[in-house]
Amino acid sequence: MALPYRWQSRIDRWKNSFRGFFGGNQQSRPKLCPACGTLVGMNATRCHECGTSLTFSLPALSKKFGGAFGGHAPVTTVLMIVNILMFGLTLMRTMSIGQGGGLSILWGMSGEALYRFGANLPFDNGWVWWRSVTAMFLHGGLIHIGFNIMVLMDIGPVVEEVYGSARFLFLYLATGVGGFLLSAWRTESLAIGASTALMGLIGIMIAITTKRGGSSMKALQSRLISWVVSTFVIGFAVPGIDNWGHLGGLATGFALGKIFADREPVNSTERKQAYALGWLAGIVIIASFTMMVLHFRDSLD
C-alpha cells in the first residue's frame, strides 16, 4: 500500500538529511552558513565570512538534526514524540504489575512505574537532579498527557519560531526544571508532567507582551493571564495538581522572557551562543534519561 504523498515527502527529506549527516553522496548545490547566513560555495567546508566549519560544528550539526524533522518547529515535534513514547512505556509498566486496566488509563498510572521512569522527588525524600528533567516527560493518565500535548502543540511552535529551535529547547528545559525545583521544595509527593515547562512557555509569552506595544499585544496578554488564572483555579479545586510546579515554571519563564531578546539570533555570535545553549540542554536531557535507565531497578526502600 503506497504511502500518502505528504509522508513519502517527509521520509525522503529524513533520508536525505541523515545521508548528509553520515557523509553520503548528495547533489552539490549552493548553501548558507548555518552560523552567519552567508552564501558559501558548493564544495566549501568552512565559511569564508565567519570561519565556521560547515561539516562538524554546533551550527552545522544543529541544522542537520533540525532538518531531519522538518517543519518550522522541529523541537516541538521531538518533545511531543518523547512525551508520547514515555507515556506508552509507563503504561506498559503499569499494566505489567496488574494495574492500569479499564478506565483507569484516563487518570491512574502506577506510582511505582512513575518513580522508576523518573518522577520528581521532594528535597526531603531523596531528590536527585536528573529527576527534575525526566519528570517533564511523564504523565499520570490519558487525560493528563492529552491536555498537555494539545497545549504544547498550540504554544510550542509560537515560542520556537520567536527564539529559534536551539534557544527554545534550552528555555523549555530551564522552565521545566525551575518548576520542579519549587515543587521539590514545597511539596511532599511525586511530581510529574510537562505542565511545568508549558507554564514556563506561557510565562515567556507574557514577558514578550510586556516588551512589545500595541493593542494586539495587550489583548494577547489579557488572554494569557486569564489562562493562567483558570489553570490555578482548577489546580486548587482538583486534588493532585502540582500548583507549586506550575508557579515555578511560570515565574522562571517570565524571568527568562525578560532576559532573552524575543527574536531569533541575528549574527554569527548570537547563533553560536544559541546553538551552545541548545546542545547543552540536549546533553542534560540525554544524561538524565541515561541516569534513569541506570537506576531503573533500584530498590524502592
Q: Which three cell numbers stand for residue 108?
A: 491512574
Taking residue 88's Cβ as centre, other Cβ atoms within 10 Å add up to 11
In the set 195, 215, 216, 295, the catalytic residue is 195
Residue whose cell numbers read 499585544: 217
Distance CA 231, CA 226 (A): 9
Distance CA 201, CA 157 (A): 11
Distance CA 123, CA 60 (A): 40
* Main-chain dihedrals φ then ψ at residue 201, nearest 5 degrees: -65, -40
Q: How far is CA 216 from the centre of its chain?
A: 27
- Asked about 288 being catalytic, the answer comes back as no
DSSP codes, 55-108: SSSHHHHHHHHHHHH-SS-HHHHHHHHHHHHHHHHHHHHHHHTT---GGGGGT-
Taking residue 142's Cβ as centre, other Cβ atoms within 10 Å add up to 17
In the set 17, 132, 139, 246, the catalytic residue is 246
Burial (CB count within 10 angstroms: exposed 0-12, middle 13-18, buried 19+), residue 253? buried
Distance CA 70, CA 12 (A): 11
- Asked about 195 being catalytic, the answer comes back as yes
Max intra-chain CA distance, the chain: 62
CB 246 within 8 A of CB 196: yes
Residues serving a catalytic function are: 195, 246
